[in-house]
Structure 1
Amino acid sequence: MANDFTPGTIYLEDLEIGMTRSLSKVITDKDIEMFAEVSTDHNPVHLDADYAAKTMFKGRIAHGMLSAGLISAVIGEQLPGHGTIYLGQSLKFLAPVRPGDEVVAEVKVVAIDHARRRVTLETTCSVGDTTVIKGEALVLAPSRN
């Protein structure tokens, strides 16, 4: 899945139930190392192959919030896009993401409260046919008014 979109904004007035946007990213060792530095989460299950091999995952996994961050990218860059303010996000982590996995983050409009400018979004991340994260976001959408 290509990231062939033009960043921008879909204003509240133009949003429709069922609209979806997505992006994909291959999670690299460098991404995991950089996320560890930025977040200060140096859990060895993410960084130490020997340690991680002895865990239930039998190998290194990416930080869950690294993949979840891709949801934020879709919301902030595509749907609704620039000017969107996060109000809340629920997440359920269902399966691990490993270095080299291609994560597809998708956001879908499921409810619109025009009076309050609030939009409810179904959020998912997948690796192949496996859903690795599912949740729901509530955002304040930019408006022309």
Structure 2
Amino acid sequence: MGVKERLREYIKTLDISEREFCRQIGVSTSYVNSIRQSIQPDKMKAIGEKFPELNPMWLLTGEGEMLQGNNINKVSGSHNTAVAGNGNSVTTNDIAGLIELQKGYQEMIKEKDSQIARLISVIEKLSEK
């Protein structure tokens, strides 16, 4: 299951439409359908702010539980911490780290796409001979 499918699964648990979900995070109504490999960091931040119970690690990688627990406590200040139902803390620094990790993955994917395009070009040239 990919990121798009996991996001759709989460939206179903909210009992709202994809259109409403998109409206709430401030993106176009076709956003969920347009997700290919992953979620851009700015969109991930918007989702995390609007739906703090959603486990970002689960959304991005499929690891862990979908929800961080029912007893999430927000603490104001620059070092916000949420305590998940399993007792683990998830800080804004953790989320920022995931966003940075995602940026790195997106760069790697772009490089791989570029390499694939070059290989296809070479194969096409060789097949013309």
Greater helix content: 2
Q: Do they fold alike, i.e. is TM over 0.5?
A: no
The structure carrying a bigger strand percent of its residues is 1
Query: Please, what TM-score do these two structures have when normalized by structure 1?
Result: 0.27
Query: Which one has a bigger Cα radius of gyration?
Result: 2
> What TM-score do the two structures reach when normalised by structure 2?
0.30
